[in-house]
Structure 1
Amino acid sequence: MPSPLPSLLVLAAFAPTALALEAPTDFNYLGYIPSVPLAIVAVVVYILLAAGLLWRWFTYRWNLVWVLIGAELVYAVGVVLRVPIKNDPYSLMLFVLSNLLVLLPPCFFLGFDYLVFGRLVRSSGVGSHLLIRENWISRFFVTSDIVTFLLQCGGGGLTAMESMRQVGTVLTLVGIIGQMVSFVAFTVLVLHWGYKLRKNEPQVWSKASGTNVQWKQLYWAIVWTCFGFLIRSVFRSIELAQGYHGSLSLNEGFLYGLDTLPLLIAVVVFIPIYPGMYLGERASRSQLQSVYSEEMEMKA
């Protein structure tokens, strides 16, 4: 399976060129004419990313990954809709649809992190160091994700109506800020758990064989995604606070450099460090076999 990393580097190289694009003299909803090459590169990278996760699914059959695969493909559709916008920059329907399909899928990226971390804590057997109860992780953060998703969805839909556009912008901004606050809390929870575990359970944290090394790899993968998602959340909050025709919205390079690229760099880690390797049915069988082997060695 080809790695999407070379394409990521191409995207990073091309993104700044969009800053040179000039907005047309006549009004259009984006405020500029979108770059077709940038859109094509981004779509190809997202399809490769989804294909990489699909390839891993065929090996481990861990169905939760479909949340991430589906979100990546929907995001790719939102980006590819920027191509017809180049030919029809005054189409409100294309603008709203493309905007929604790029804005909303990251809610599922974050939701995937919430679910994976909750399962990771349960499988590790050391959830006592969490700031909240173990069974509250998925409930609280997924509920928060759903609420902020609905706010963004409703706000984005209202932007299609001239009279409600300002209300829609405010609702979307509230959803984005709420999502960012929730994810900052989640990031603190993840980092605190790792810190307390390393401090209070050194024998567990430092163990370099058996099942512990597996969940520790996945833990660091989740930490890696947190920083990419936070970059995107901060960018979207500032962008929407400025308005749809603020300085960030009017420069296409910011969209690719601070939204598309951080999301890609964050979730690409789940191809080599595939959660199904550690949390799926095959991983559970492998752990049981490892425990059984250790018990047999102790008896011998």
Structure 2
Amino acid sequence: MNTTVLAVTGSSIPKDLVWDVSPYHYIPTQWVVILFIVLFSITGVVHIGEALIFRDWFLFPTVVLAICGEIIGWSGRLWSTLNIPLNTPFVMQLCATIIAPTPFLAAIFVIFGRIILRLGPQYSRLNPRMYTILFCTSDVVALILQAFGGGLASGTKESTIKSGVHIMLAGICFQLAVVSIFMLLVAEYFMRYNTDRPIRTSVYQSQDSGDSPQLNEWTANGPRGLMDRRLKLLIFGACFITLLLFIRSIYRTIELADGWNGRVIGTQVYFNVLDGTMVFLAMFTLNVLHPGFLLRPTQSFMGKA
């Protein structure tokens, strides 16, 4: 049986049988798959180097972990190009590519919390720590749902597989809702910052204390942080990354909701562009516009010498 399966490669399947034989309903293009594995590997090596150089250790359980997940997922697709009918690599790539960007989002939540510390927490509806605590906790919940659903989806019973897909869909829908709320809060923050309209009378200010800023209560009449060129670049990069991951989440939600035999999951270009390209561009953007460089001012957080 295994010999027969291994012999069924893309070139040996008639075009009119591809939809039925391949769990993807198409044959993944091998050179595209290899290209994404190489691209994710390169950005991963660069991210590891940047995290070590700038001592941004939070990037390892977030960005680096996400990149490892992407490489695993695309490796599953590469395996599928060699063994088209096999279900194992299909489920492997499905689960990995759905789950992988989740820890990456956590890094964006942390970065925005640090940006708020720099510009002034008085404009934020949440204090900076809550961005990390609340949204990263929500991210973990989404990750657990997706991982649990992925485990069920890898089963052999049709009912179990369907339940797994539904749970994964719930996880990614929850994640989409969390990102939407996050984007609204960020938009409100920058509107208030630009118009200098503080949201509260009691906020938290960051003061230099080694590598870890300490939070101390102060009044809304405190200084307004300066948005210099480097900070503008980081804000642009973080917003661009969030938009890319938001687009990708919408696509994966539609894909899972459309079902195993839907047109969305059966169209390769959708996956390559709306998942692979979106996630890679997000990771590459963080390589170029890195918080390790752009969030290290020559002065203190609130512009004091």
TM-score under structure 1 normalisation? 0.80
1:49 and 1:23 map into 2 onto residues whose CA distance is 37
Q: Deviations over 1:157-185 (max 9, x none)?
A: 11122231111111111111110010011
- The 5-angstrom pairing of residues 92-241 of structure 1 reads 92-122=87-117, 124=118, 126-161=120-155, 162=157, 163-200=159-196, 204=224, 207=226, 212-241=228-257
1:118 and 1:189 map into 2 onto residues whose CA distance is 11
Q: Deviations over 1:42-62 (max 9, x none)?
A: 111111211222332343222
Match of 1:74 among 69, 77, 80: 69
1:188 and 1:168 map into 2 onto residues whose CA distance is 30
1:87 and 1:39 map into 2 onto residues whose CA distance is 12
Query: Structure 2 stretches of 5 or more lacking a match?
Result: 1-14, 198-222
Matching residue of 1:265? 281
Matching residue of 1:30? 24
Query: Could you tell me how far 1:204 is from its partner in structure 2?
Result: 4.9
1:76 and 1:257 map into 2 onto residues whose CA distance is 16
How many positions carry a matched residue from both structures? 264
CA contact (8 A) 1:23 1:33 kept: no
Matching residue of 1:88? 83
Sort the Cα spacing of 1:89 and 1:132 in 2 relative to 1 into closer, same or farther, 3 A: same
Sort the Cα spacing of 1:240 and 1:264 in 2 relative to 1 into closer, same or farther, 3 A: same
CA contact (8 A) 1:53 1:271 kept: yes
Q: Relative contact order (C-alpha < 8 Å, sep 6+): which is higher? A: 1
2:273 and 2:172 map into 1 onto residues whose CA distance is 18
Query: Structure 1 stretches of 5 or more lacking a match?
Result: 1-20, 295-300
2:179 and 2:291 map into 1 onto residues whose CA distance is 20
Q: Name whichever structure is richer in helix by fraction.
A: 1
2:185 and 2:267 map into 1 onto residues whose CA distance is 34
2:16 and 2:235 map into 1 onto residues whose CA distance is 43
CA contact (8 A) 1:129 1:197 kept: yes
Sort the Cα spacing of 1:287 and 1:35 in 2 relative to 1 into closer, same or farther, 3 A: same
2:271 and 2:114 map into 1 onto residues whose CA distance is 32
Query: Could you tell me how far 1:90 is from its partner in structure 2?
Result: 2.5
Query: Could you tell me how far 1:224 is from its partner in structure 2?
Result: 1.1
1:289 and 1:151 map into 2 onto residues whose CA distance is 37
1:262 and 1:44 map into 2 onto residues whose CA distance is 16
Identity of paired residues, percent?
22
Query: Could you tell me how far 1:31 is from its partner in structure 2?
Result: 2.0
Q: Deviations over 1:260-286 (max 9, x none)?
A: 11122223222222111244xxx36x3
Query: Could you tell me how far 1:125 is from its partner in structure 2?
Result: 5.0
Worse-matched range after superposition: 223-232 or 262-271: 262-271
SS in 2 for 1:101: helix
- Give the partner amino acid of 1:230: F
TM-score under structure 2 normalisation? 0.79
1:238 and 1:273 map into 2 onto residues whose CA distance is 30
1:176 and 1:23 map into 2 onto residues whose CA distance is 31
Could you say what the CA RMSD is over the residues aligned between the two structures, in angstroms? 2.5
